[in-house]
Amino acid sequence: MFIRVHSVSDSQDHALAVLSKVLEPLSQHVISRHLIKSEQYWKIDMMFVTEAEVSLQDDFSREDLTVYLEKVSENWDVIENPLEAITSTQMGDISIENIAMITISFAE
């Protein structure tokens, strides 16, 4: 699973902490995670983009993904083939503070 988080952050440490909060509801399913990048977003001050590749257990299902998405936000745009889910504060409330947008790509 690939995840990209746009967070309202004043430092890379804070951006990484936000990513950890986003991934926390998945903790029982995560085998490993690899940070791809965490850097200030060039278009907006006080915004960081953090990307990670997350390896999930083989039995992680579409139902597990749905449960996870609902814990993070009640509003997602979901695109099929490959499965991608996007949410932002413009679409509704996100249960984790300091999030502007989250994009998740999930390959079954």
- 28-44 pLDDT tens trace: 999 999 999 999 999 88
What average pLDDT does the structure give for the chain?
A: 90
pLDDT at 108 over 70: no
Tell me the CB-side half-sphere exposure of residue 76, using CA atoms within 13 A.
22
Q: Is the dihedral of CA 64, 65, 69, 72 positive or negative?
A: positive
Residue type, 40: Q
| Whether pTM exceeds 0.75 | yes
Q: Which pLDDT band holds residue 26 (cuts at 50, 70, 90)?
A: very high
Integer Cα distance of 70 and 35 in angstroms = 24
Summarize pLDDT for 46-103 with one digit per residue, the tens. 999 999 999 999 999 889 988 999 888 888 898 887 788 888 877 767 788 898 899 9
CB-CB contact of 47 with 5 (8 Å): no
Q: Which of 108, 6, 104 is nearest to 50 (CA)?
A: 6
CB-CB contact of 87 with 66 (8 Å): no
pLDDT at 3 over 80: yes
